[in-house]
Amino acid sequence: MTISALLALTLYASAQYVDQALMLSQQSYGVTARAKAMGSAFGALGGDFSSLSINPAGIAVYRSSEMTFTPDVFRFDKTEATNQGYMADDSKYNFSIANAGYVGTYRPGDTESGLVSVNFGLGFNRLRNFHQNSLSEAMNSPYSRMDAFAQNTNGINYNDLVTTDSYDPYYNGIPWESKMAWENYLIDVANPGNGDDLYNSILYQGETVNQHYAIQREGYINEYVLALGANFSDKFYIGATVGIDDLYYLETSTYGEDGGSNGFGNFDYYNYLRTTGLGFNVKVGMIFRPIPQLRLGAAVHTPTFFNLKENYHSWMSSNLDASVGAGAGSHREETPHGDYKYDLETPFRAIGSVAYQFGKKGLLSVDYEYVNYNNIKLRHGSDGYDFYSENQDINNYYQSIGNIRVGGEYRVTPAISLRGGYEYYGNPYKSTVSGVSQPNSNYQHVTYNGGLGFRFGSTSLDIAYGLTDLTRYNYPFQLNGVQVEPIKYHSMVHDVMFTMAFRF
3-state secondary structure of 322: helix
| pLDDT given at position 255 | 97
Residue 235 clears pLDDT 60, i.e. is over it: yes
| Segment 174-184, tens digit of pLDDT | 889 999 999 99
* Inter-axis angle of helices 14-25 and 388-397, nearest 10: 60
Share of the chain above pLDDT 70, in %: 96
Residue 261 pLDDT grade (very low, low, confident, very high; cuts 50, 70, 90)? low
Q: Which residues of 133-145 are buried (b: 16+ CB within 10 A; e: fewer)?
A: bbbbbbeebebbb
| pLDDT given at position 125 | 98
What's the CA gap between 371 and 301, in Å, rounded?
Answer: 10
Residue 361 clears pLDDT 60, i.e. is over it: yes
Longest distance between any two alpha carbons in the chain, whole Å = 90
Mean pLDDT, the chain, whole residue set: 93
Span 234-253, average pLDDT = 98
Q: Which is more confident, 300 or 163?
A: 300
Q: Which is more confident, 384 or 218?
A: 218
Cα 413 to Cα 500, 503, 504: the distances in Å are: 19, 20, 22
Q: Which residues of 362-377 are buried (b: 16+ CB within 10 A; e: fewer)?
A: bbbbbbbbbbebbbbb
What's the CA gap between 489 and 491, in Å, rounded?
Answer: 6
Total-model pTM: 0.92
| Segment 385-424, tens digit of pLDDT | 899 999 999 999 999 999 999 999 999 999 999 999 999 9
One-letter identity of residue 200: N
| pLDDT given at position 282 | 98
Span 314-339, average pLDDT = 90
Residue 80 clears pLDDT 60, i.e. is over it: yes
Q: Which residues of 392-407 are buried (b: 16+ CB within 10 A; e: fewer)?
A: ebbeebbbebebbbbb
| pLDDT given at position 382 | 87
| pLDDT given at position 136 | 97
Span 307-319, average pLDDT = 96
Check: CB of residue 471 under 8 Å from CB of residue 492: no
Nearest to 373 by CA among 312, 445, 436, 422: 445
What's the CA gap between 353 and 404, in Å, rounded?
Answer: 10
| pLDDT given at position 213 | 97
Span 347-357, average pLDDT = 98
| Element of type H or E holding 137 | strand 132-141
| pLDDT given at position 13 | 56
| pLDDT given at position 12 | 47
Nearest to 60 by CA among 225, 208, 238: 238
110 Cβ contact list (under 8 Å, min separation 6): none
* Residue-range domains of the chain with CATH: 5-144+203-503 (2.40.160.60), 145-202 (no CATH)
Residue 10 clears pLDDT 50, i.e. is over it: no
Residue 445 pLDDT grade (very low, low, confident, very high; cuts 50, 70, 90)? very high
| pLDDT given at position 4 | 45
| pLDDT given at position 194 | 64
| Segment 35-50, tens digit of pLDDT | 999 999 999 999 999 9
